[in-house]
Structure 1
Amino acid sequence: MIYPNNYEQKIGFNEIRSLLKERCLSTLGKEKVDEMAFSDNAAQVNEWLCQVREFRQLTEAADDFPMQYFFDMRQPVTRIRMAGTHLEENELFDLRRSLETIHQMVEYLGPSPSDQSEEVPYPALARLAEGIITFPAIIRRIDSIIDKFGRIKDGATMTLAGIRHELQKTEGNISRTLYTILHTAQREGLVDKDAAPTMRDGRLMLPVAPSVKRRINGIVHDESATGKTVFIEPAEVVEANNRIRELEAEERREVIRILTVFSDELRPHVKDILESYQFMARIDLIHAKAELAKTFKAYEPKVESRPHMDWIQAVHPLLALSLEKQDKKVVPLDIMLGRAESPELSPLRSTFGRSQGESSHILIISGPNAGGKSVCLKTVGLLQYMLQCGLSVPMSERSTCGMFSNIMIDIGDEQSIEDDLSTYSSHLMNMKMMMRNANDHTLLLIDEFGGGTEPTIGGAIAEAVLKQFWQKKAYGVITTHYHNLKHFAEDHEGVVNGAMLYDRHQMQALFQLSIGQPGSSFAIEIARKTGIPEEVIQDASDIVGRDYIQSDKYLQDIVRDKRYWEGKRQTIHQHEKNLEGRIQKYESSIEEIEQERKAILRHAKEQAEELLRESNRKIENAIREIREQQAEKEAAKRIREELEAFKQEVSEIDTKANDEMIERKMRQIQERKERKEKRKAEKQKLEEQLSTLHSQLSPTAAVANSTLSTLHSPLTPGSSVRIKGLTSVGEIESIDGKMATIIFGGMKTKMRLERLEPATKPKNDSSKAEERNASIAGSYATVSNSTRSAIDSRKLNFHQDLDVRGMRGDEAINAVTYFLDDAILVGMSRVRILHGTGTGILRQLIRQYLGTIPNVSHYRDEHVQFGGAGITVVDLE
């Protein structure tokens, strides 16, 4: 039970809902936010929190979870329940993408189809996906109808394909007719040279000046906003344009028929599809909760079914956001209510002044006005409500949380003129409702308990009501200024005092809650700070009596001293904790150092033994070589040098050095040894290769040398060259700047020098002038035949169109360069470059480049029916 009805408004939960909605991806999630409600079922709340926890882990561990295309398609899907209705093209496109997202989410969260027994990484989310039906067959069916842009495919049906083919054919005829009329009108001076056919109201027309509109036979359909241009539909294309309208109507009828047939197929699955969108809505809500938890720096605690709270560093999330914008920080609160069953008690529990096993289920908070009492009360109400709605809460992870069946609040002024209720009467109505429904699973939040009426009787009634709450063992956080309520806590087991701390020297609130002692209202100090005359303050002190003033001062001193010693205790505790950590760290370091020292000594011993064995091998090898070579002077000298070097390496080891020096010396010797062996092996291998090459040398080496010299020579007229990447060899006829004229097998072509590379010109054979020596091995082929064969192969594989759409400018220019070179080589007279319209930058770059190529005689736009300005037609010489 939640009391009163405007509970969410009083504690600020409406703002929490608004923040959640801002983080939702669709209306699906926003509806779930509105449906979100308080629950007193611990298992249900833990499941909600576990879902949020797992989703946060999922998004942090991976970035491939499908979170796109959260479209709410429930209304269109519900609409097709009626026979004869159908989805529109855009609705079908959104349905396909959202169903694909649902399918991917269910597959991601559940076990793999091949092994249903495998353990899933996110069990709470997997339970959410259980029983959700996905529709891969429907997705494939939609893919057979629409393309990747969401438009009905031409091949959806044969009828539609025929209609669209005829439509394109008719449009092409109209375009050609219009261009013929346009060119005639341009020659006669009736239309501007740069004019082009224009589409108006779905019909192709010619833009002409008003003064010559009567000279063109046709129908005037429209004029420009300035009136300087009129749009005429020539009489020759009127019938064709009418036919286009008819074909468009036929196309629309066929599309509707296709969509209706698909909707009929979809209709039996409407219920399951709607349920799958509910799954998407729940995922959207969990996503919003996880994002809000990041904003609040909150976490998901384990909730116990028993009513209690042991909160450490709890923060009001809305207040924290507000202060963060002002570069300020909120002061966190430590609150405990209920019996603590955990053996690990929070440091705050010692401040209660009671045994650990004793229950304190009602907290009475006193302190100065504007000291944070109401904020503390609202923090408790908001965080507990958020928790039982399945939201993460901003508090320390060492906190423990419980469940309450009823949460009742009395904050603010509820007076009503219509109901004839005063402020105090409204409070009494709330107290009556609370006493009637309170039990040992109820959380009461009361601000300014007993206020709104004469203090003496108000305090008495408040104490009597508080006694009823105490007898019912209800839990509560109550703020008050009444002394009798402060004394009530001392006389009744389970009730504890708390104080909002106040700095008497700086005269400002600290917004810190200290539990165990009552707080002072600091009324005299605050009055003196605000400038109330001292005479008035003295009169007030005389009215209440010196004993009251003195007791209030004693209370302030107690709170001050308690705060001082609590700070000392916390400091000592922190120092002890730091000291224990350092001691543990030093002990671990000493143990690691000892282990490393033993390992170094063991390694050094092994290396010393290996060194001794190596020394023996060196000496034995030296003696054997000297004997075998009969002590040749040079060989003996070399062997002595090697032994001397090895002796020097051994002498470098300082046996009296520490363990680290021994290890370093051993490592240096080993590295030098490895480098020497590596150089020796490389030298031996190089000598073997040189010997092999020398033995294989033949008279053809001179030919190879001349070929190398030719390859490195500069390109001049008469040089033999080939196109990079090709094998055909040609001869440079002339060079003009960066362009060269080359003869390939009797054909001339112009090409940039950077596209060419030097090639060896084979020698003439005396038997046949056209035959050439193709290789050192002696294979022969004629230059003309090989060149012609290469050209024929190029012609067979050459495509007249080049598509550079989607390329960057430099990539497109490079592709066009190679394309035009190949076109010139194979003798192509006309080619087309597909660059698309877009922003027009790619078209402009390509045309600027075409203007620099001598072989390009002309370039222009393609006809409208074949692509228009999106394609450039290039004529080659």
Structure 2
Amino acid sequence: MNNKILEILEYDKLKHLADKYLSTSAGMKELKQLAPVSKIDTVQWMIDETTDAADINRLVGPIPVPSLDDINPQLKRLKVHASLNGTELSQIAKVLKATMAMTNFFERLGDDQVNLRHLYDVQSQLVTIPDVTNRLLKSVDDDGRIKDEASSKLHGLRQLIASTETEIRQSLEKYTRGRESKYLSDNIITMRNDRYVIPVEAHYRSRFGGVVHDQSASGQTLYIEPQNVVEINNRLRQVQIEERQEVRRVLAELSEMISPYREEIANNERLLGHLDFVNAKARLAKKMAATLPVINDEGYINLRKARHPLIDAKRVVANDIKIGKDYRSIVITGPNTGGKTITLKTLGIIQLMGQSGFFIPANDGSQITIFDNVFADIGDEQSLEQNLSTFSGHMENVKSILDNITDRSLILLDELGAGTDPKEGAALAMAILDQIQKVGSEVVITTHYPELKVYGFERQDTINASMEFDQETLKPTYRLMLGIPGQSNGIAIAKRLGLADSVIDDAQSLVEDDSQELNQMIGDLVEQRRQAREKQERLEKLVNDNEQKQAELNEKLQRFNENRDDMYEKARVKANHEVANAKRKADKIIHHLRQLEGQKGTPIKENELIDAQGQLNALHRDPRLSKNKVLQKAKQKHNLQVGDAVKVKSYGQIGTILSKRGKHKWEVQLGILKMEIDDRDLEKVSKKELTKADHQKEVRPKRVRTVQTRRTSARLDLRGQRYEPAMANLSDFIDHALLNNLPSVTIIHGKGTGAIRKGTQEYLRSNSRVKSFEYASPSNGGDGATIVYFE
């Protein structure tokens, strides 16, 4: 596409509507580089990707792409073996973490059998690096701070720093809280030159000894490091130096670790940016109520209720625009301020949107075609620098357009031939249209010249059009009327504005009779068109109302059927219950008869007893349900025998029945495990399902869930424990909770120094099975306890 058309139609403003939905630097870069394309396969691919993202938005919400910075500078530094700082490593870690999250997101969509056209292929190109990702997340905070867990030495040094700082504070508190506090200008402990000091009044300097590090602006206060903390401060300084050295070593180690994966990480960033980009297009489509365009390669455009995307939806007037099938040229005539120019721009910008992979602001079923280029001459082209008049400026543009058009071009010309003598301008406009038609391009022009109304009527593949005016108010309605030329309303408008009657009469006498008759004929056509449109709108409203009523009736019928089936099921259960009671009574009677036979010796035939009992047993069977294939299939799945292959529903695993362990218990072999499982948790697996499961195991290894035999509590108390044992207990507790399918648990870590609380939350962030977590309510411990929710 030529850059001029992008400028005229304000293509950059259109893209600006989408950038508010982007969250990645790579997505912003792709949007900035976006331009319309002219290959139908590429356009269809782009539209399909936007459709995938729109389907995901509709089913589960927007694609969860987090905010990601540009990491290309960091990757270039790694290429020359530089060590990255904490912030740079954190940015790379976010990309790797987002890669794993995006992979899991699309796998869940696949498990839910969500059909997508192309985005599964995009996701499949993402490369997850779990070991590197977990190490980075374990070592670097989101804000770039190196965590204590980055190395055991760093953890020990920071613990030593904390204990040394505590020792210094305890020593200095003897001055701030003891008898010496009266010699201080303020009872605080502060820092000067990275050393702990206290503020001493200058004339008491000799009472404290030590080192003076600073003084106040007035000189009345000295910041002194007392002699008894000098050595402790020295030790603290030494440990801090060692800690910084260890941090530098960790940064170098982490940089070296991720350096071999530069290309994979760069590609991941690009793919995440692309997913962010198509997600932004889908969200923009939802915002502006845009629809999927139908693409054709036959040069045919059919826009139904098209709206300009840059005009407020509450103010814009929607129009039907067709070109390329029955006619390839449209001549729009009529007075100014009627909406002719906006109609040109609407057609142009919607065509550019479609060829950029956007949904278009038009009704469902709207069609666009693929142009190799779109040309336009719209607006005032006067140039003082080139000494060109408005007419000359337009002609320069038209010449350039005629030199470059093909039979697959769209041309939009506003006020063609304006700025010169009307007769010459009209003749020139008709000649330009003839030249365009020879090439075979599609063209839409606007003009004031009445001669072009005749041209539009007589020329083949050309149609007249105009913008509707209200005949009573003489105000524009901004509706496009195809097939009807524009009516000249100049004298009528002047009369309505109060111009003298004598002037109006003189003007009408100077207008040719043919022109007056033409205007009257056009006015009649406009009125007929208005009446037809109003009738059509009433019919459409009636159809919509009937469809809504039909939908309500269908819904009520469905509820009636559901209630009927529910009542039938309840009646069947009640009947079976009564029959079961009758059967128990019959069994007692038969038993009593046999006892009588034994006592009196009266023979009772066994077959009579069996027949009677069989008839009673048959009473609770529903003949309609006995032939139900669904129920038969369900019954077969629960008709268990030793040796059957079964699926343990709570674990999602397939095993083999070893033996019966009670009335409703079975011993099942799951891998190397043997478990006693209730028959309600078992389902027989067919040979077809077993073959499919074996095939899936070969293609993709399943996650194995182990069985926890001990009873797991939903609460863990870490108070009073040291950091390392507490973290080990936390990890073990979360594993047991997941194995026992607990939906949520509570971790009591207390408040204290906050170390265990912080460690708990860092662990929870790194565990992919944790859905979310939050502090408990104030009545249940507040920020001294954390509630964890699992996927």
Query: Structure 1 CA distance, aligned partners of 2:353 and 2:328?
Result: 21
AA partner of residue 72 (structure 2): R
- Residue of structure 2 in register with 1:269 after alignment: 261
| 8 Å Cα contact 2:202-2:220 kept in structure 1 | yes
| 8 Å Cα contact 2:126-2:268 kept in structure 1 | yes
Residues 364-443 of structure 1 aligned to structure 2 (within 5 Å): 364-443=331-410
Q: 1:527 aligns with which of 494, 501, 505?
A: 494
AA partner of residue 260 (structure 2): P
- Residue of structure 2 in register with 1:293 after alignment: 285
SS at match of 1:415: coil
Alpha-carbon deviation of 1:336?
0.7
- Residue of structure 1 in register with 2:32 after alignment: 34
Q: 2:411 aligns with which of 433, 437, 444?
A: 444
Task: Tell me which moved more, 445-454 or 37-46.
Answer: 37-46
Query: Structure 1 CA distance, aligned partners of 2:347 and 2:448?
Result: 20
Q: 1:151 aligns with which of 145, 152, 176?
A: 145
| 8 Å Cα contact 2:426-2:451 kept in structure 1 | yes
- Residue of structure 1 in register with 2:121 after alignment: 127
| 8 Å Cα contact 2:323-2:442 kept in structure 1 | yes
Alpha-carbon deviation of 1:308?
1.5
Residues 75-224 of structure 1 aligned to structure 2 (within 5 Å): 75-83=73-81, 85-109=82-106, 121-146=115-140, 150-154=144-148, 156-157=150-151, 159-161=153-155, 163-164=157-158, 166-183=160-177, 186-187=179-180, 189-191=182-184, 195-223=187-215
Query: Structure 2 CA distance, aligned partners of 1:586 and 1:214?
Result: 97
Between Structure 1 and Structure 2, whose CA radius of gyration is higher? 1
Alpha-carbon deviation of 1:241?
2.8
Deviations 1:839-861 (A, max 9, x none): xxxxxxxxxxxxxxxxxxxxxxx
Alpha-carbon deviation of 1:137?
2.4
| 8 Å Cα contact 2:197-2:225 kept in structure 1 | yes
Query: Structure 1 CA distance, aligned partners of 2:517 and 2:323?
Result: 32
SS at match of 1:311: strand
| 8 Å Cα contact 1:26-1:71 kept in structure 2 | yes
Residues 126, 583 of structure 1: CA spacing in aligned structure 2 closer, same or farther, 3 A cutoff? closer
- Residue of structure 2 in register with 1:329 after alignment: 315
Query: Structure 1 CA distance, aligned partners of 2:248 and 2:542?
Result: 78
Residues 225, 12 of structure 1: CA spacing in aligned structure 2 closer, same or farther, 3 A cutoff? farther
SS at match of 2:445: strand
| 8 Å Cα contact 2:294-2:365 kept in structure 1 | no
Query: Structure 2 CA distance, aligned partners of 1:213 and 1:152?
Result: 40
Deviations 1:263-308 (A, max 9, x none): 2232222122111111121122122212222221112223222221
Query: Structure 1 CA distance, aligned partners of 2:167 and 2:562?
Result: 91
Deviations 1:230-264 (A, max 9, x none): 42222333344344334323322222222122222
Query: Structure 2 CA distance, aligned partners of 1:308 and 1:158?
Result: 70
RMSD: 4.4
Residues 20, 66 of structure 1: CA spacing in aligned structure 2 closer, same or farther, 3 A cutoff? closer
TM-score between both structures, scaled by the size of structure 1 = 0.61
Query: Structure 2 CA distance, aligned partners of 1:104 and 1:112?
Result: 13
Residues 569, 281 of structure 1: CA spacing in aligned structure 2 closer, same or farther, 3 A cutoff? closer
Residues 579, 234 of structure 1: CA spacing in aligned structure 2 closer, same or farther, 3 A cutoff? closer
Gaps of 5+ in 2: 589-716, 724-748, 756-783, 785-791
| 8 Å Cα contact 1:41-1:305 kept in structure 2 | no
AA partner of residue 277 (structure 1): E
AA partner of residue 130 (structure 2): P
Query: Structure 2 CA distance, aligned partners of 1:395 and 1:289?
Result: 16
Residues 86, 581 of structure 1: CA spacing in aligned structure 2 closer, same or farther, 3 A cutoff? closer
SS at match of 2:132: helix
AA partner of residue 505 (structure 1): E
| 8 Å Cα contact 1:74-1:277 kept in structure 2 | no
Alpha-carbon deviation of 1:362?
1.3
Q: 2:58 aligns with which of 47, 57, 60?
A: 60
| 8 Å Cα contact 2:65-2:272 kept in structure 1 | no
| 8 Å Cα contact 1:120-1:126 kept in structure 2 | no
| 8 Å Cα contact 2:201-2:220 kept in structure 1 | yes
Alpha-carbon deviation of 1:479?
0.9
- Residue of structure 2 in register with 1:71 after alignment: 69
Deviations 1:770-807 (A, max 9, x none): xxxxxxxxxxxxxxxxxxxxxxxxxxx9976899xxxx
- Residue of structure 2 in register with 1:717 after alignment: none
Residues 588, 296 of structure 1: CA spacing in aligned structure 2 closer, same or farther, 3 A cutoff? closer
TM-score between both structures, scaled by the size of structure 2 = 0.68
| 8 Å Cα contact 2:293-2:364 kept in structure 1 | yes
| 8 Å Cα contact 1:801-1:833 kept in structure 2 | no
Alpha-carbon deviation of 1:607?
12
| 8 Å Cα contact 1:387-1:393 kept in structure 2 | yes
Query: Structure 2 CA distance, aligned partners of 1:475 and 1:573?
Result: 32
Residues 801, 599 of structure 1: CA spacing in aligned structure 2 closer, same or farther, 3 A cutoff? closer
Alpha-carbon deviation of 1:227?
6.9
Residues 208, 135 of structure 1: CA spacing in aligned structure 2 closer, same or farther, 3 A cutoff? same
Query: Structure 2 CA distance, aligned partners of 1:584 and 1:335?
Result: 31
Alpha-carbon deviation of 1:332?
0.5
Alpha-carbon deviation of 1:558?
2.2
AA partner of residue 389 (structure 2): S
Task: Tell me which moved more, 514-523 or 252-261.
Answer: 252-261
Q: 2:233 aligns with which of 232, 241, 245?
A: 241
SS at match of 1:408: strand
AA partner of residue 27 (structure 1): S
Residues 265, 465 of structure 1: CA spacing in aligned structure 2 closer, same or farther, 3 A cutoff? same
| 8 Å Cα contact 2:465-2:484 kept in structure 1 | yes
Deviations 1:584-640 (A, max 9, x none): 9989999999999999999999999x999x99x99xx9xxxxxxxxxxxxxxxxxxx
Residues 403, 568 of structure 1: CA spacing in aligned structure 2 closer, same or farther, 3 A cutoff? same
Alpha-carbon deviation of 1:461?
0.5
Residues 143, 580 of structure 1: CA spacing in aligned structure 2 closer, same or farther, 3 A cutoff? closer
Residues 264, 802 of structure 1: CA spacing in aligned structure 2 closer, same or farther, 3 A cutoff? closer
- Residue of structure 2 in register with 1:461 after alignment: 428
AA partner of residue 85 (structure 2): E
AA partner of residue 369 (structure 1): N
Q: Quick check: 1:51 aligned with 2:25?
A: no
Residues 242, 573 of structure 1: CA spacing in aligned structure 2 closer, same or farther, 3 A cutoff? closer
AA partner of residue 380 (structure 1): L
Residues 107, 305 of structure 1: CA spacing in aligned structure 2 closer, same or farther, 3 A cutoff? farther
Residues 57, 595 of structure 1: CA spacing in aligned structure 2 closer, same or farther, 3 A cutoff? closer
Q: 2:467 aligns with which of 500, 506, 513?
A: 500
Query: Structure 2 CA distance, aligned partners of 1:265 and 1:604?
Result: 69
Q: Quick check: 1:257 aligned with 2:249?
A: yes
Alpha-carbon deviation of 1:101?
0.5
Query: Structure 1 CA distance, aligned partners of 2:62 and 2:445?
Result: 49
- Residue of structure 1 in register with 2:484 after alignment: 517
SS at match of 2:66: coil
Query: Structure 1 CA distance, aligned partners of 2:574 and 2:146?
Result: 78
Query: Structure 2 CA distance, aligned partners of 1:837 and 1:426?
Result: 73
Task: Tell me which moved more, 278-287 or 19-28.
Answer: 19-28
Residues 316, 223 of structure 1: CA spacing in aligned structure 2 closer, same or farther, 3 A cutoff? farther
Alpha-carbon deviation of 1:333?
0.6
Deviations 1:812-837 (A, max 9, x none): xxxxxxxxxxxxxxxxxxxx984459
For these two proteins, the number of residue pairs brought into alignment is 606
- Residue of structure 2 in register with 1:19 after alignment: 17
